[in-house]
Copies of this chain bind each other. A is one copy, B any other.
Amino acid sequence: MSTFLRSLAGESTESAPIWLMRQAGRYLPEYRALRQRFGFWEMVQTPDLAAEATLQPVRRFGVDAAILFQDIMSPLPAMGVEVAFDPGPVIARPLRDAAAVERIVVPDADELAPSAMEALRLVAAESLVPVIGFAGAPLTLAAYLVEGKGSKEFAAFRGLARSSPAVLERLLDKLTDDTIAYLRGQVPAGAAALQLFDTWAGLFDEPTYRRLGLPRVKRIARALEPSSIPLIYMAVGGGHLLDAMADVPCAGISVDWRTPLGSVRRSLPGKTLQGNLDPAALLGTREGLLAEAHAVLEAGLGGPHVFNLGHGVMQQTDPDQVAALVDAVHSFDRRRPVPALAGAIP
């Protein structure tokens, strides 16, 4: 079994597997070449283009996992929500009342983003490394559906949580059903692991997150348990939510760059930790990059660790820096005796 899947199965592997959030994207010249001919949403919805974008970073860098080139908005059209990109997601008719929420469809799994499933099948047939499927978490999808677009403050969304909590809870429940169906559908299509992205969970204080977000994330994780496919959960800016996340029955937690991996391991016993190099480290000198990467590798000792960034690759990144990072992570021996940390190595 690959180091990636062994690590997610709870093994403190001899070297850390590595993949990078947003590893398929604009920083790659071969991706930009595709984008000169096709729009982003067109690529997402065209299986062979999505499969090609998925495989580009695997071929170039030898990362240990592919992540399906899709968007967390991919299943929305099948749920009856019109979405466009300009360049971020724009919801033509934001959902702000009970009637709008009732119009959300919970279709059968095979109707939820069939082009994503087809892309996944194409990648799984060709990829030599495990393929990660993913979905947006209900709170994060709801943030876009209510606000209508990305926002610094998400005033409409956070307001609705106060002015019409029952409407929002109903929306979150329907999105949870949809997300379960969407993720379950990715298993027979070829996903070897799944990641649930909760991009906006960090907007909320812990009590609100425990009321609105956490129960749905737990329900999704429980619904996937019978599949035996490992689930990784990621809440950006969620350092203050770690104690709550400890309750999610998932294999891995992806940690953003502001939370030290060592302290996280104490808060999340039994979880594989994923992360958490600052994506900006890739923009600096080679020497600085490798020093920061080593610090993350050392902080990740003492249990299973999947190396990743603490957020997505920035488009300004030089691909050669990524190549150097992948090599450095692969050549770091997690079982060598490290005097200062020896006691922490199992």
Chain A residues proximal to chain B, CB less than 8 Å: 153, 155-156, 158-159, 161-163, 202, 204-206, 208, 237, 239-240, 257-260, 278-281, 283-285, 288-289, 311, 314-316
- Known interface pairs A155-B316, A162-B281, A239-B239; 19 further A-B residue pairs with C-beta atoms within 8 A, sorted by A's residue number: A153-B311, A153-B314, A158-B280, A159-B283, A159-B284, A159-B316, A162-B283, A162-B285, A163-B283, A163-B284, A202-B258, A204-B258, A205-B257, A205-B259, A205-B260, A205-B278, A206-B260, A208-B278, A240-B258
- Copies per complex of this chain: 2
Residues of B close to A208: CB separation below 8 A = 278
B204 pairs with A155, CB closer than 8 A: no
Residues of B close to A162: CB separation below 8 A = 280-281, 283-285, 288-289
Write the nearest CB–CB distance from A279 to chain B, whole angstroms. Answer: 8
Separation of A289 and B158 alpha carbons in the complex (Å): 13
Separation of A163 and B289 alpha carbons in the complex (Å): 10
Separation of A280 and B156 alpha carbons in the complex (Å): 9
Separation of A155 and B316 alpha carbons in the complex (Å): 7
Residues of B close to A289: CB separation below 8 A = 162
Separation of A311 and B281 alpha carbons in the complex (Å): 29
Separation of A168 and B257 alpha carbons in the complex (Å): 21
A283 pairs with B158, CB closer than 8 A: yes
Separation of A99 and B292 alpha carbons in the complex (Å): 28
Separation of A6 and B163 alpha carbons in the complex (Å): 36
B283 pairs with A314, CB closer than 8 A: no
Separation of A153 and B256 alpha carbons in the complex (Å): 13
Residues of B close to A257: CB separation below 8 A = 205
Closest residue of chain B to A239, judged by CB? Answer: B240
B237 pairs with A280, CB closer than 8 A: no
Closest residue of chain B to A241, judged by CB? Answer: B258
Can you give 21 contacting A-B residue pairs, CB < 8 Å?
A153-B311, A155-B280, A155-B283, A155-B314, A156-B316, A158-B283, A159-B283, A159-B284, A159-B316, A161-B284, A162-B280, A162-B281, A162-B285, A163-B285, A202-B258, A205-B257, A205-B260, A206-B258, A237-B237, A240-B258, A240-B259
